């Protein structure tokens, strides 16, 4: 993964919408969810700190092939939860 920098050469970061002792939650209300930079960073963080990343999305939301690939790569780290 390449680290992106801001204009002032500071690495970009992201925070989950919620965090518990064993899970990071990211809440999205979209029809198609892709493996965005935010999701990739949170997945990397979840693997590093041994937590699960829970994507809270509507039932009708479809996962893009890029996100499906990321889920296969990270194993059981990323989970889906319906709103």
Q: Residue 69: what pLDDT?
A: 97
Tell me the β-bridge partners of 56. 27, 81
Q: Is the pLDDT of residue 9 over 90?
A: no
Q: Residue 13: what pLDDT?
A: 80
pTM: 0.85
* Per-residue pLDDT reduced to its tens digit, 10-65: 557 889 999 999 999 999 999 999 999 999 999 999 999 999 999 999 999 999 99
Q: Is the pLDDT of residue 7 over 80?
A: no
Q: Residue 72: what pLDDT?
A: 96
Nearest to 58 by CA among 34, 37, 77, 31: 31
Determine the Cα–Cα distance for residues 44 and 42; give it in Å rounded to an integer.
Answer: 5
Please say whether the beta carbons of 66 and 57 come within 8 A: no
């Amino acid at each position: 993964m390449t680290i992106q920098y801001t204009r002032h050469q500071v690495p970009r970061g992201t925070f989950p919408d919620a965090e518990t002792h064993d899970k990071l939650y990211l809440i999205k209300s979209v029809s198609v969810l892709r493996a965005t930079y935010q999701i990739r960073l949170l997945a990397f963080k979840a693997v590093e700190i041994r937590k699960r990343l829970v994507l809270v999305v509507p039932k009708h939301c479809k996962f893009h092939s890029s996100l499906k690939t990321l889920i296969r790569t990270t194993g059981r780290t990323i989970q889906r939860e319906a709103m």
